Structure 1
Amino acid sequence: MSLPARPYWDDYQQLSPAQKVRVLRRYLAHRVVDNEPNPITGSPCWISRHRKADGYGEIKFKGRSLQTHRLGVVLTGRYDDPTLVAHHVCERGPDGCINPAHIRMVTARENLLTSTITLASINAAKTECDRRHPLGPDNAYVDANGSRQCRVCARRRTRHHRARLVLARHTAEYDAAVARGETPDPVVIRMKPTTPTELPPVPAEFEPFGVFTEESA
């Protein structure tokens, strides 16, 4: 979903009272009110009748394609800052919700972290990396791209990268020696063991392995 080049608010304020009424009527005609309230907001979503390929509602006005949910923000007397993102509290933006009561204007970062369905918010809620290392303040850091990283895993990747460089250099030297008719020693790269001294605990939902009783036999 792209941001508009200029706010709808400025164009809306230039309309006459009669034109504003027509815009409001067209906006309300675009909605289909859900029968059940949204479990997050407690009020029903308004689903747009006309939606784009990404699922968000679209409405035409004076030859301009408008995002219906952002237009709803303006119609409720709020300024639609073009540098901000219209965040759907109901989590049904891609489903075409245009209920202005479900929309807050937030920054792009807040939109990603506040949502419960984005990859950024899911990763931000993690307390462990994929290798079960804790992502606490002593082990986690933020890289140049703004992503949270695990220091233990970063050191492991660095060791492997350096080992590959050493292997490539020794392999090149070995091949060069063979080409000269020599018989060099085999290339051997020794790395420190990376197996953790303590394995992570087995999740409680898994049954212990190798435990059998006479009743289960």
Structure 2
Amino acid sequence: MVETVRWLRENSLSMAFLVLFLLSVGGQAVAGLHDYNDQQLAQGLTPISFLAYVTSSSYAVDVAENWQSEYLQFFLFIMLTVWLVQKGSPESKEPHAAGAETDERQQIGPYSDEDSPKWARVKGPRLWLFSNSLGLVMGTIFVLSWLAQSVAGQAAYNSERLIDLRDPVSWGSYVTSAEFWNRSLQNWQSEMLAVLSMVALSIYLRQRGSPESKPVGAAHTSTGVEG
């Protein structure tokens, strides 16, 4: 019991966001079902069940659309912060540290210690792969989510076209259509604005105790320091 409580405390941030995610995705499914069935009734069609909705292209495209924009945000933030800096922001490295940094600073190869991950102590492809694993995984999830959105979006879009007695479109036609890019860009712009706000506002504003903020008494020009 003590070990369980300790584990939950040590992983409370991940667990809290997991619970919030499940509640959100479940709430989206319930609200989406009611909205979908309202549209079905308005068009003189038969409402569908909850199971039919959560396995439909309409639900899948809405979920995948949000996932791909979120992972695009994280991928870009991870990769751009290697080389780009913002003076005064805790979300940025110090200007002199821009770049991939030295082996010593990254604690790899001969500069690793006994607690370093095994692949940080080797050379060659394994070290490169581990050194770039976070960006690679985030980028891969973005691409897969984007593909899922495009496939589900095409199916949902064609379903609407068939109801209107219009011919369905191919995948290539859909991913180059205004419908697809309107859905994508309206999410991308909000993600980019959120990151910009976090980077810029954290220069001058504080949240005591948060690692995403500088210490309350830190100078506005302090860069790369966390509270």
TM norm. shorter chain > 0.5: no
User: Which of 1 and 2 has greater Rg?
Assistant: 1
Larger fraction in strand: 1
TM-score by structure 2 length?
0.21
